[in-house]
Structures are given as structure tokens and as C-alpha cells.
Chains A and B, each alone.
Chain A
């Protein structure tokens, strides 16, 4: 049952990405191309983010008033932390890759399911990159910090 709900939520998330236009790298790159404002710039992505944040902001306020999630356990929320170099370096690297191809992780899986051969290459490389970063960060967490 819980597995099925996870699958259904992935479907909903993915269908939202497709309807929003995020699954087409051209649309993403046309949004990021701010030098083309006034010509081929496509501001649609601001509406995607706006719609997603509006619903999530209101929904979270409601949901997080509960004592626990429906299926038990606890709410897993990142603890507030200071802004360190990692929260800047990671996204800086991510942004370069996003700008090169026009795919971020969610749309990459959707493009894979749509049968794009380009997405096969991209997702394979993405999973290697993700795995490497996780192993490195687990190792960093085990090693005592040096000044």
C-alpha cells in the first residue's frame, strides 16, 4: 500500500512536470536565457515555481500542525543551519550542469520514461555523480573535522 502511494505521488509529480513544460529542456533553457528577454525568452518557469510554492507553502502549514505523518514515524525536516561553503558550491556545480543541458533530476527521469535516448546518457551520468557525492559526504561526516 505504501509502495503504491509512493508510485502514485511520483506519477502526480511527473505529470505536473510535463504539464508545466519542465520536461522539455528547450523550455528550461529558453527561461534561463535572460539575454533573450524581449525576443525568445520564455518566463513560464516562474509560473511553475510560483504554483508549486503557493501550494506547498499553504499545504505544509496545514500538514506540519499534525503530530506525525499518516503512516507513522516523524516529519523529517532539515534542521536550520548556517550557510556554509557546501550550500553554495553544490548548487553552483548543479547550476552549470542544468544550464548545459536544461534538465534537472525530476524532469530527467520523466524524459527517460518518454523514451529519449539523450535522457539515458544524462540519467546514467547523473546517478554516477549523485552516488559519488553521497559517498564523499558520508566519508566526510565520518572523518573528524580539521581546522
Chain B
């Protein structure tokens, strides 16, 4: 387990930037900033003509560490505890669950809660509960 530092100010400001991007996406294109919904519609079938815009948004996410490198002189660090099997299992579950439940941390967590959606509140409460339970099992029981 890698200890991490409590960063209230950076996290609040970073959260504000996430919120600003979500508001601007709604203002410009009328779309919810749900990363799972955006990412899955980069793949076929194409039911509208906005797949290129979605691809550009995802590429923006992928390019963000480069912007960070230019601005700060260092790549953002990521500490992984999971090995290859857990990475694949986790990826499958995250991808399937997010699209099956119509949203993830961004679509339900940020945009849905901001719209006071009870469906999103149910979704967030559910994934928080299973995520907390999973971490408890992995760190304290196994």
C-alpha cells in the first residue's frame, strides 16, 4: 500500500476544473460529460454523427499528462497495486458496469448529482458501497 498525502486545496481546484469542463461541454454541445458514455460511442455502432468529437475529447484526456509535463516539468505519477490479472478483471468490470448502469463517476457522480437525479444518487451510493467493500476485502481480509 502506498500512503498518499491529503490534498484538500489541489483536489478542490482540480474538481472545479472537472466541473468547468462538464459545464462547457453542456454549453457548447448540449452533452453530459460522462466519460464511459463518451468512450463507448467512439466504437461502432454509430447512431449519430458525433463520434469524431467524442474521439477528440478522449484524446484530450490521453494528452492531459503531456500538458501537465509541459506546465510542471514532471509527468503525473500513478502507483498501481494491481497485477495483470486484477488489471484485466478490473477493466472488464469497470467498463461493463459503467455502460450497463448508464454512467460512472463522472456521468452519475458529477453531472447526475448536479442535476439532483435520484437515479444517479442510487447509482453513486451503490458503486461507493461495492468499491469500499472490495477495498476492505482486498486490503484487510485477503
Residues 18-66 of B contacting A (Cβ, < 8 Å): 18-33, 35-36, 39-40, 43, 45, 52-54, 56-66
Query: Could you say which residues of chain B place their CB within 8 Å of the CB of A71?
Result: 28-29
Q: Which residues of B contact A (CB under 8 A)?
A: 1-8, 10-33, 35-36, 39-40, 43, 45, 52-54, 56-68, 75-82, 84, 86-102, 104-106, 108-111, 113-115, 117-119, 122-124, 126-136, 138-140
- Across the A-B interface, give the 6 residue pairs with the lowest CB-CB distance, nearest first: A10-B60, A90-B101, A14-B64, A20-B14, A51-B15, A129-B95
Whether B60 contacts A99 by the Cβ 8 Å rule is no
Known contacts A14-B61, A105-B36; A23/B80 CB under 8 A: no
Does A4 reach chain B (CB closer than 8 Å)?
Answer: yes
Known contacts A23-B78, A33-B136, A55-B19; A87/B6 CB under 8 A: no
Least CB distance, B127 to chain A, in whole angstroms: 4
Residues 1-58 of A contacting B (Cβ, < 8 Å): 2-27, 29-30, 32-36, 40, 42-45, 47-57
Q: Across the A-B interface, how many residue pairs have beta carbons closer than 8 Å?
A: 487
B78's partner among A68, A114, A123, A137 (CB-CB below 8 A) is A114
Least CB distance, B136 to chain A, in whole angstroms: 6
Whether B99 contacts A130 by the Cβ 8 Å rule is yes
Q: 11 additional contacts, CB 8 Å, given A9-B24, A26-B1?
A: A6-B29, A9-B33, A10-B56, A13-B60, A24-B77, A36-B139, A44-B11, A51-B15, A55-B15, A86-B102, A105-B36
Q: Which residues of A contact B (CB under 8 A)?
A: 2-27, 29-30, 32-36, 40, 42-45, 47-57, 59-60, 62-64, 66, 68-71, 73-78, 80-81, 83, 86-106, 108-116, 118-119, 121-134, 136-138
